[in-house]
Amino acid sequence: MTRRERQQPTDHGLASRETILDGAFQAFTQGGYRDTAIDDIAAAAEVSKGGIYFHFPTKESIFRELMRTTADKLVGKVEAAVAAESDPIRKAEVALRTVLEVFAGHRTMARLFFEAGGGGRGFQAELNAMHDRFARLIQSYLDEAVGSGAIPPIDTRLTSVVWFGALDEVVARWLQAEKPGRLEAAYPVLRALLLRSVGVAEETIAAGPAMESLDAFPEARQ
């Protein structure tokens, strides 16, 4: 058996997992986690139940893998977006904006994962890991900013957690709104608040986008 022939089952297995995950995402977004059965996932993925159980022992394991792969894709988008930036503060800004834009374009996905936090310690652990991953990404940009003298010395680990917590709260409020506006509209105010929190100069903040955050939460106008 050649090396190529030995690799084929692995490649096929990876493709099968991706097919199942794609079908599961479709099924979960349509029916929610609680009301989606393995049969629904099998139908959406056009595979047998046996094929699903070959790769995933439970519905929970499928959902947890979806959370991990989605986090991988989001991190990839953020890293690609900041790749062209050399200034660490710009990297942090672009990272925040990219996360908001991704969630804005995938509201059903965002709601699904945010609601999963109430589904037990297993899902909460995955969400915590996702949050920690993004907080550490932000921390790396803040560490770079401190090292270059762009901002004064701060506790970058704690600050990154606070930054992502603020972002998380804005997204959560948007998901809970009955008639949400544009999530991206919250970015200018969020950006200004977070940059001030680490000592970025006011002229740098003022050079950013105009503030229009009420558009994200229209009910705030009433």
Same domain for 69 and 46: no
Asked whether the whole model's pTM tops 0.85, one would answer: no
Give the chain's mean pLDDT: 85
Same domain for 70 and 162: yes
The span from the CA of 83 to the CA of 215, in Å, is 29
Q: In total, how many domains does the chain have?
A: 2
Q: Supply the range of the domain harboring residue 34.
A: 1-57
Same domain for 203 and 165: yes
Same domain for 63 and 53: no
Q: Are 49 and 20 in contact (CB under 8 A)?
A: no
The label of the residue with tokens 């139940």 reads 49
Same domain for 185 and 141: yes
Same domain for 79 and 46: no
Tens of pLDDT, residue by residue over 107-125, are 888 888 777 765 555 677 8
Has residue 2 got a pLDDT over 70? no
Same domain for 86 and 36: no
Give exposure, 52-70, as e/b (b: 16+ Cβ within 10 Å).
beebbeebeebbbbbbeeb
The reported pLDDT for the residue numbered 219 is 57
Same domain for 143 and 64: yes
The reported pLDDT for the residue numbered 118 is 57
